[in-house]
Amino acid sequence: MRKILLLLLASLPVMAFAQGFQVNLHGQKQIGMGHTGTGLAQDGASVLFNPGAMAMLPDNYIQAGISPLIFKSGFNPSGTNDAYYTKNKIATPFTAYAVWGPKSSFWKLGLGVYTPFGGLTDWGNEWQGKYVLESLNLKAIAIQPTLSIRLADFVSIGGGFVYNIGDVDLQRAIPLANAAGADGQARLKGSGHGYGWNAGIFFKTESGITVGIDYRSKLKTTINNGDAIFGVPASLATSFPQPNTFTASIPLPSTTSLGLGYYPSSRWTLAADVNYVHWSVYKVLAFDYAQNTSALQDTYSPRNYKDAYSLRGGAQYKANDKLFLRAGGGYASTAVRDGYVTPEAPDANRYYFTGGLGYKLAKRLDLDFSFEYEKLLSRTQTNIESQLAGTFKTHVYIPGVSLAYHW
């Protein structure tokens, strides 16, 4: 009678994907000051932080920086003495900005190339959550041409169009053992693009305080025809047709920022930023496979993110004409509700400390270093979907360096 059995495979749990993966490494001077910059006109990074401030920059800029990011996460499954750690992998968020306008003109043109979102997490293929996620490498690169106009001595505005290129490579194990007892493997790999915009306004008040407001729009990035690669035992190959493709859409949320700059003396710059990230647009993660079978269905996975905010503060001290010291810190709330935490970026409320050094190599050439330590508060969770239960603890270490030429 086994003849008439239909084989229904353990259905694939939906792909875990994408959370807490906003990258905020957008300029070494700003990182050093706790990621503040919306209310300052520091350098070319204003293209991102506040295009409105660009026209207030005294110089033209061309600059580039890199912030190698080491994400260290550990997981202790509930009721066990086991501990699993992510592998040592270094992600490389980078920035490149150019700002140009005729000297003393009321306008400036800008171009920014930066990494607004990304994630690199590799738990390996032997950990308890391997059926949820083995590794994720998510990269987004945004290109933003920008125009800024000084309306008056005390106010300027700016805006830019954002073209975003997204790239994802996700791997997980499939609970189908082959004759040797080894798991099947799933890999989703693809790239896509999206559009958005970034606009801001910048004021110099009579009290000497500078104020900036910036809005970076949602970047709805769609991956079309990504490769869905499944390695399963030969007898099940027809259930996982190859080649196959998938389509998935990820809304990268909008961010609204308000920033203040205060200059108590010629040596000191103090800054504060508040950011509101509209993560609640991220309701579901759906994967649509080009070829479906009874074992390979499209997936529809609730995410139900909530909006998140961050509070940031920082200071810069000009030690002498060549040397600048910076420090800052902040707190960011998690977008991920209880029950939805997944291993690709085990999000939690986090706080961070930053430090930086700026050195003028020459009159027109700035070399800046930054370092950031982020601590995600430990979070004990049972994921609603996967039932993976345990405690995540995460630290992030981010050194960085940039070079800026201005004239």
* Residue ranges in contact with another protein by CB under 8 A: 1-11, 13, 68, 70, 72-83, 85, 88, 126, 128-132, 172, 175-179, 181, 232-236, 357, 359, 361, 367, 369, 371, 378, 385-388, 391, 393-395, 397-399, 401
Residue 245 or 380 having the CB closest to another protein: 380
Residue 131 or 279 having the CB closest to another protein: 131
Beta strands in 263-338 (DSSP E): 268-277, 284-289, 299-302, 308-318, 323-332
Strand-pairing partners, residue 329, are 313, 353
Smallest CA-to-CA distance from 41 within 225, 266, 210 is with: 210
CB of 32 to another protein, least distance (A): 12
Distance of alpha carbon 357 from alpha carbon 371, whole angstroms: 9
Residue 34 or 200 having the CB closest to another protein: 34
Residue 240 or 305 having the CB closest to another protein: 240
CB of 130 to another protein, least distance (A): 6
Structure tokens belonging to residue 108: 């400036």
Asked whether the beta carbons of 37 and 45 are under 8 A apart, the reply is yes
CB of 79 to another protein, least distance (A): 4
Residue 3 or 103 having the CB closest to another protein: 3
Structure tokens belonging to residue 207: 């009290």
Cis peptide before 302 (omega within 30 of 0): no
Distance of alpha carbon 393 from alpha carbon 359, whole angstroms: 35
* Rounded alpha-carbon distances, angstroms, from residue 298 to 247, 286, 342: 10, 7, 20
Amino acid at 401: V
CB of 393 to another protein, least distance (A): 4
Smallest CA-to-CA distance from 388 within 15, 78, 83, 176 is with: 78
Pairing of strands 69-77, 90-91: antiparallel
Which helix (H) or strand (E) is 218 found in, with range?
none
Residue 284 or 384 having the CB closest to another protein: 384
For 221-259, give the DSSP string. EEEEEEEEEEE--GGGGGGS-SSEEEEEEEEEPPEEEEE
* Rounded alpha-carbon distances, angstroms, from residue 399 to 242, 315, 342: 42, 18, 26
Chain length of the chain: 407
Structure tokens belonging to residue 31: 């990182």
CB of 10 to another protein, least distance (A): 5
Distance of alpha carbon 18 from alpha carbon 71, whole angstroms: 15
Distance of alpha carbon 405 from alpha carbon 62, whole angstroms: 5
Residue 76 or 349 having the CB closest to another protein: 76
CB of 2 to another protein, least distance (A): 5
Residue 273 or 368 having the CB closest to another protein: 368
CB of 182 to another protein, least distance (A): 8
CB of 82 to another protein, least distance (A): 6
Residue 186 or 201 having the CB closest to another protein: 186
How far is Cα of residue 272 from the mean position of the Cα atoms in its chain? 21
Residue 57 or 232 having the CB closest to another protein: 232
